[in-house]
C-alpha cells in the first residue's frame, strides 16, 4: 500500500521511539540512583541531619500577626470553601518554611470550612 512521505516519517519516528524506550528507562533509573547516592553522601557528611531542620533552628520569628477570619464561610458555596481550605494550607506550609515566620491565626473556624478540613486534612488539628 502506498504511503505518503509524511506517514513514512511518522512511522519511522514511532519505531525509533519504541526502540529507544529501554534506553530512556535505563537513563532515568541511573539518574534516580545518582540522586539517591548524592542525598546519602550529603546526609553522611552533615552531622546535623536534615537541611530543613537545620534551617528551622536559624529561623527568627517575626512580630507580625496574620489573622484569617473564617466567619464568612456560610456565605460561600462549597467550591469556594474548598479553595479557601487549600489557600490556608499553602499559607501555613509556606509560613513554616519561612526564615521570618509570622504568627498565623484562624478565627471563627467552624461550619463548612471546619467540616471540609476534618474530611480532607485530619492533620490540621496538630498545627501550631
How confident is the prediction along the chain (128 residues), in pLDDT tens digits per residue?
688 999 999 999 999 999 999 999 999 999 999 999 998 888 777 655 555 555 566 777 788 888 888 888 888 888 988 898 899 889 988 888 888 888 888 888 888 888 888 888 877 777 76
Q: How many residues are present in the chain?
A: 128
For residue 96 the three cell numbers come to: 513554616
Residues 6+ apart with CB under 8 A from 110: 70, 73
pTM above 0.85, yes or no: no
Query: Is residue 106 a contact partner of residue 88, using CB atoms and an 8 Å limit?
Result: yes
CB 72 within 8 A of CB 112: no
Amino acid at each position: 500500500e502506498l504511503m505518503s512521505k509524511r506517514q513514512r516519517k511518522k512511522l519511522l519516528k514511532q519505531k525509533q521511539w519504541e526502540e529507544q524506550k529501554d534506553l530512556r528507562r535505563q537513563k532515568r533509573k541511573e539518574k534516580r540512583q545518582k540522586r539517591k547516592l548524592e542525598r546519602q553522601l550529603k546526609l553522611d557528611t552533615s552531622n546535623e541531619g536534615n537541611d530543613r531542620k537545620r534551617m528551622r533552628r536559624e529561623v527568627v520569628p517575626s512580630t507580625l500577626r496574620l489573622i484569617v477570619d473564617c466567619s464568612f464561610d456560610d456565605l460561600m458555596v462549597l467550591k469556594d470553601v474548598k479553595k479557601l481550605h487549600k489557600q490556608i494550607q499553602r499559607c501555613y506550609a509556606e509560613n513554616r518554611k519561612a526564615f521570618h515566620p509570622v504568627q498565623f491565626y484562624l478565627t471563627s473556624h467552624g461550619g463548612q470550612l471546619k467540616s471540609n478540613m476534618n474530611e480532607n486534612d485530619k492533620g490540621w488539628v496538630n498545627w501550631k
